[in-house]
Structure 1
Amino acid sequence: MTALPAGPRARRGGRPGGRPARRPDGEGPRRGDLRAALVFLLPATIGFVVFYLVPAVRGAWFSLTDYSVLAPPRFVGLENYDRLVHDPLFWNAMGVTATYVVINIGLQTVVAIGLAVLMQRLTRSVLVRGAVLLPYFVANVVVALVWFFMLDYQMGVVNVLLQKVGVDPQAFFGDPTLALPTIALINVWRHMGYTALLIFAGLQAISPQVYEAAELDGAGAWRQFRSVTLPLLRPVLALVLVVTITGSFQIFDTVAVTTAGGPIDATRVIYLYIYDLAFGQLDFGYASALSVVLFVVLLGIALLQLRLTRANESDAS
């Protein structure tokens, strides 16, 4: 007897309605998997909605109102944004914040890449990695206060050492030209270990065979770093830059416990200005407008970074 060709049901796995049959090893899709995934996602989703999404929507609404805790919000449209355009303190705060980001991220990225390469080439000890990461585990306020006392003009240990070598003491937090770079360097010291470990993890993904091929072609250590390491690290560096630049724009606590925005607004960063408007002057509507603008600026910077660094592409292939 001649065998008849398989019908549509047979070709689709023998299940009515065209559903694929479960594989005999039990690894096929199961209804319980989606249910379990939703259960595990639920706490994070609730936290995101309650602590991020709802406050963001309320903040966007408040930015269109004249609002303080002493009276209900009064809708004013785009008045707060028009005020923002003509506010010199806002532009000063944005300029101070941008200067801080350039100093902090520029030094932090260079130092972190150097530390990561040294750990890759010289030692991969867990103890060394823990020591490099140790400053990151100390609270930012504690780090700021320790450095504040160490850099004190009269009794700080740093100025005492400078006097011993014949250098005049420096008002690190009192001089308008030194205050912002000092704060930036403090945060470089605290965060460079964390950034270095992120880059170090990216270095582990680069195959040693690539370096062997480059060495056979006569490339020295610097040429290998410039032509092999940096291109292959591009996706990791893009992620690191997005995270660190976004975090640097949110600088607040170090400034709040050291200079409080002084001297002469030299360290009045945008977060400190927003905080003062909201909780010092109870001008929540205008503070919300500044927060919305800052969000848009950070979103634009992140998207521009990802585009310029081609973060979704890799040279590994």
Structure 2
Amino acid sequence: MGMAFFGPALLLLILFLFLPMLLTLIFSFTDYFALNPDLTHFVGLENYGKIFKDELFSSAFWNTLKFVLIIVPAQSLGALGLALLINKVTICKKYFKVAFFIPVVMSLAVVSNLWMQIYSPEGILNTLLSHIGIDAQPFIHSADQALPSIAIMSVWQGVGYQMIIFLGGLQAINPALYEAAEMDHASGWQKFKDITLPELKPLCVFVFITITIGAFRMIVQPMVMTGGGPSHSTYTLVYDIYETGTVNWEIGLASAMAIVFTAFVVILTIIQTILTKDKEGKHANKKTKNR
């Protein structure tokens, strides 16, 4: 009976997850070309050598890294700030939760098209800037501003999800801790530093790592908004893998890129496991001592 329920799910996992992963690993050691698969040969580590010598791949890697460095602190701090504000609100709290969470459930393609209109030379953002005496900005049409502009849009779209996580953590903190701090005449900053942050540390690690992994997977925003331009300034790792495999049909080379990308994700997952384990252990020991 157990296998009758588990079997279909296992079959789907094998067909659409484990088998593609295995084939990707195998193809990464070949020169498999999708338009002429009969002439496939084993090339060993040649594909891996090519991608590390490829200037476009290096550019895509650094663009992705820049995006991660912008979005991780901005989205983490923004989510924590919104959670702290909404946690203090006593009126229309549900409205604010829904309002900030709506962009999360919207399609990234739809959000990207919306922000293309906002960033356009005649868009609402440049109109507002003109009213305060600032010249119109090129935003996604400039090689210098395109990546930060996409990062700002991505923060707006995703911050609601992490906000809900932090809000749940804030509501789980024992109010008696704050009451004890108030009896000791602790300031608001002291309560935040000595109570709120230590209690949220496990969540902070989780949110930080998940945002990082999600940022490394960015593809929809530059694909819709800039096409990887201007001058490949928004060309990312996943975008490079997509174009190599589905536009140029170089499946072997794209598979090697995917394996390298997976290595980054695995490293981040290991870091997440180590950091979360340490934080949770200290958190549990602290609670035990308090009891």
Residue 109 of structure 2 is matched in structure 1 by 141
Q: Give the count of matched residue pairs.
A: 281
Residue 16 of structure 2 is matched in structure 1 by 51
CA apart distance, 1:42: 4.0
CA distance in 2, matches of 1:237, 1:178: 29
Residue 136 of structure 2 is matched in structure 1 by 169
1:152 aligns with 2:120: yes
Among residues 43, 57, 60, which one is paired with 2:25 in the alignment?
60
Range that drifts further, 123-132 or 236-245: 123-132
Question: For residues 42 and 122 of structure 1, do their structure 2 counterparts lie closer, same or farther at Cα, with a shift above 3 Å needed?
Answer: farther
Letter in 1 for 2:75: Q
- Per-residue CA deviations over 1:31-90 (Å, capped at 9, x if unaligned) read xxxx45x55544443333222211111111111110111222321111111112212211
Asked if 1 retains the 8 angstrom alpha-carbon contact of 2:206 and 2:272, the reply is: no
Residue 109 of structure 1 is matched in structure 2 by 76
Asked if 2 retains the 8 angstrom alpha-carbon contact of 1:100 and 1:181, the reply is: yes
1:18-33 residue pairs with structure 2 within 5 A? none
CA distance in 2, matches of 1:58, 1:42: 22
Q: Which has the larger radius of gyration?
A: 1
Name the SS of the counterpart of 1:267 in structure 2: coil
Range that drifts further, 304-313 or 223-232: 304-313
Greater helix proportion: 2
CA distance in 2, matches of 1:145, 1:258: 7
Name the SS of the counterpart of 2:234 in structure 1: coil
- Per-residue CA deviations over 1:88-144 (Å, capped at 9, x if unaligned) read 211111110011011111100001001111122223832221111111121100000
Question: For residues 183 and 296 of structure 1, do their structure 2 counterparts lie closer, same or farther at Cα, with a shift above 3 Å needed?
Answer: same
Question: For residues 240 and 158 of structure 1, do their structure 2 counterparts lie closer, same or farther at Cα, with a shift above 3 Å needed?
Answer: same
Q: Any unmatched runs of 5+ in structure 2?
A: none
Name the SS of the counterpart of 1:77 in structure 2: coil
Measured on the aligned residues, the alpha-carbon RMSD in Å equals: 1.7
Among residues 48, 58, 69, which one is paired with 1:91 in the alignment?
58
Range that drifts further, 166-175 or 180-189: 166-175
1:178 aligns with 2:145: yes
1:267 aligns with 2:234: yes
Letter in 1 for 2:13: F
Residue 130 of structure 1 is matched in structure 2 by 98
1:7-46 residue pairs with structure 2 within 5 A? 35-36=1-2, 38-46=3-11
Name the SS of the counterpart of 1:65 in structure 2: coil
Letter in 1 for 2:101: L
CA distance in 1, matches of 2:191, 2:14: 46
CA distance in 1, matches of 2:190, 2:279: 22
Asked if 2 retains the 8 angstrom alpha-carbon contact of 1:232 and 1:314, the reply is: no
Letter in 1 for 2:30: T
Question: For residues 212 and 146 of structure 1, do their structure 2 counterparts lie closer, same or farther at Cα, with a shift above 3 Å needed?
Answer: same
- Per-residue CA deviations over 1:1-22 (Å, capped at 9, x if unaligned) read xxxxxxxxxxxxxxxxxxxxxx
1:289 aligns with 2:289: no
Name the SS of the counterpart of 2:41 in structure 1: strand
Letter in 2 for 1:266: S
CA apart distance, 1:239: 1.8
Question: For residues 39 and 119 of structure 1, do their structure 2 counterparts lie closer, same or farther at Cα, with a shift above 3 Å needed?
Answer: farther
